[in-house]
Amino acid sequence: MDPETRAVDRHAVDRHAVDRHTAGWHFTGDVDEFLARTRDFLHSRPDLHTVQLTVTERLRRSGPQAYGDRPALLGYLVREDGGVGATLLHTPPYAVGATRLTADEAEALAAVLVDLGRPVTGFASERATAEAFAAAWQRRTGASARLHDRHRLYRLAELTDPSPMPEGRARVAGEADRELLVRWHDGFVEDAGTHGGRGGADWADFRLSYGGVTLWETPDGTPVSMAGVTPTVAGQARIAPVYTPRELRGRGYAGAVTAQVSRAALASGVGELLLFTDLANPTSNALYQRIGYRPVADWAEYAFGERAG
């Protein structure tokens, strides 16, 4: 593996200093090391750990800078019995993400990241964990914390095609669609108000490498909507993103392509199919429930201002 993968980000302090203040947290830049230690924990709840599973799969396939110019930082919390109790991912420019933490664990993690000198511009997790960490980060740094996004995780229960179905058909995107995928990815990022990371070109190339985007096209062959699917890890995959250009919305294309990519994923052997929705968008939440997705948990992302001092 590239030696850069093994190096903790340059913003971290000396490793021995880190070890004195980890409160049970261990950090690495090596995705293989991280997965060897955390596999059982992450596979214990593939639904709740879907982000960690899919992000580390892309890091494993594409390298430590798959999401940006700075390498990823990976962490895991070791319990008193020696088992893993939580994990952390930071793939700049995205927010720090963590699995479920107690309030005390969130407080301890905030202290550890302050000691590391790690720049933390945001934090995302299940809602209670995100709220606890945001409060702890504010107390320890004096930084402002703003609720940036609220999402709901859904799991497919029983797939039902939308009714009525729009005319047309689904097909897996190929190399000839690359320019379209780049453009639609960037449109999705703009609409969602999220960071683009490395941008649409890298995203399209990665998804095309395993057939990870399905298009809905009209009877004349014009693509009008897309739905992506992550690689399958631990028996689960996640539908993301779903995008229809503004001028084509309201015609049932998103529901149709989501249903078809879901059907294809199930046929390929995926055991658990998931997706996130923006809670600020009641239309998409209602749509996914109509085609068979059921709520699992709510997520929140907080954005932090500059640290005091």
Q: By residue range, what is the domain housing residue 51?
A: 3-151+300-304
Q: What span, in angstroms and rounded, lies between the C-alpha atoms of 81 and 101?
A: 17
252 in the same domain as 284: yes
Specify if 81 maps to a domain: yes
Specify if 309 maps to a domain: no
91 in the same domain as 45: yes
276 in the same domain as 196: yes
Q: List the one residue out of 270, 176, 159, 186 whose CA is nearest residue 215.
A: 176
281 in the same domain as 162: yes
Size of the chain in residues: 309
114 in the same domain as 26: yes
- β-pair partners for 76: 26, 87
Q: What span, in angstroms and rounded, lies between the C-alpha atoms of 189 and 191?
A: 6
DSSP 230-288: PPPBTTEEEEEEEE--GGGTTSSHHHHHHHHHHHHHHHTT-SEEEEEEETT-HHHHHHH
Pull the structure tokens for residue 67: 């999401």
| Burial grade of 273 (CB within 10 A; 0-12, 13-18, 19 or more) | buried
14 in the same domain as 144: yes
Pull the structure tokens for residue 282: 């009641």
Q: What span, in angstroms and rounded, lies between the C-alpha atoms of 69 and 56?
A: 16
Specify if 286 maps to a domain: yes
Q: Residue 5's pLDDT is what? A: 26
195 within 8 A of 124, measured Cβ to Cβ: no
β-pairing, 122-126 vs 96-98, is parallel
The residue type at 92: P
Pull the structure tokens for residue 297: 């948990």
Q: What span, in angstroms and rounded, lies between the C-alpha atoms of 203 and 198?
A: 8
Q: Residue 194's pLDDT is what? A: 73
Specify if 70 maps to a domain: yes
Specify if 229 maps to a domain: yes
Q: What span, in angstroms and rounded, lies between the C-alpha atoms of 225 and 166?
A: 12
Specify if 9 maps to a domain: yes
Q: Residue 283's pLDDT is what? A: 92
111 in the same domain as 209: no
232 in the same domain as 147: no
217 in the same domain as 133: no
Specify if 272 maps to a domain: yes
106 in the same domain as 14: yes
- Per-10-residue mean pLDDT of the chain, 309 residues long, equals 30 37 86 97 98 96 90 94 96 95 96 92 98 97 96 98 96 98 95 77 96 98 98 97 96 97 97 96 95 98 85
133 in the same domain as 57: yes
250 in the same domain as 222: yes
Residue 212 belongs to domain with CATH number? 3.40.630.30
Q: List the one residue out of 294, 303, 301 whose CA is nearest residue 153.
A: 294
Specify if 144 maps to a domain: yes
Number of structural domains (the chain) is 2
